Amino acid sequence: MKHSLKVDTTAAGKRIDLVVGEALGLSRARVKALFEDGAVRINNKKAKKGLMVAVGDALEVDVPEAQASAAAMADSKLELRVLHEDDALVFVDKAAGVPVQPLQPGEQGTVANALVAKYPEMSVVGDDPREAGLCHRLDIETSGVVLAARTRAAWEKMRAAFSEDRAVEKKYLALVKGPLADEGTIDVPLAHAGDHVVAGVSDGRPAITEFSVRARRGSYALVDVKLVTGVLHQVRAHLAAVGAPIVGDKLYGGVEEPGLSRFFLHAVSLGVRHPTTGEFLRVESPLPPELAKVLDKHLPSAG
């Protein structure tokens, strides 16, 4: 697919590879490959990566269809609720039912699409062209704080932090039904098994979850959860493994809650060491209305 671009005042003085990547939503690796293949021309001449562009320069880019469709496309229709932003990081409040990033080329309606629409420079941040600077993931039905980086340098530092135990403070709020101690640590390995994970498998990944009960009434308990590690479905699988599955989480044995189309799990706060300042930054997300309503029903004093 051939693309024709005209350099305006907003792009003038930038490196040509950055201009191409931002305009077409391509990752740094894909842009590099285009220049190596001679697929980028400026004013009818083969362009070299790193060249500075000027107002009025005419760019022509020949992008293979597979590459053109891989990146997260801008989607301004999806509301992006920003909790905190600065030159390096963006914390957003993800709603339940919204995927974090596209799974298929051209897919819309994800957090990544909304990020690219508001921050075009993030289209080239990350190793996967669909990432749009995202530093971690939340399940589709989990709401709460999600972090993305606005620069490659910030993204690399945040990704490294998420890969280390206790380097990032990840706190959740869950409503469970079942017997549960007032507090404790769940240290049970988890293994992938299709669309879910299995607890207690000898060759599973190490997984550690800390919890404390904030309030209880009958068999229901509102639980503060802190992740030490980060494994797929960790909070859901761990609470189910100790006999207290999350309300509404049918995949892990949770009781159905009338009127609630999701499970009761919310990423209430995320704390990181800022990649530029080095200061600790914690960002919080308020409990969504649909969860507040359920909480008021089962534990009215905890709302």
Q: Which residues contact 75 (CB under 8 A, 6 or more apart)?
A: 108, 109, 110, 113, 114, 116, 117
| SS3 (DSSP) at 194 | coil
Q: Within 10 Å of residue 208's Cβ, how many Cβ atoms? A: 18
- The answer to whether 123 and 72 are in contact (CB under 8 A) is yes
| SS3 (DSSP) at 31 | helix
- Which residues are paired to 45 by β-bridges? 42
Type and span of the H or E element at 5: strand 2-6
Q: How far apart are CA 143 and CA 100, in angstroms?
A: 10
Q: How far apart are CA 17 and CA 115, in angstroms?
A: 21
Q: Within 10 Å of residue 287's Cβ, how many Cβ atoms? A: 17
Q: Which residue reads 């992938």 in tokens?
A: 192
Q: How far apart are CA 61 and CA 30, in angstroms?
A: 12
Q: How far apart are CA 240 and CA 176, in angstroms?
A: 9
**Which amino acids are annotated catalytic?**
139
| SS3 (DSSP) at 280 | strand
Q: Which residue reads 């300042």 in tokens?
A: 277
Q: How far apart are CA 43 and CA 37, in angstroms?
A: 17
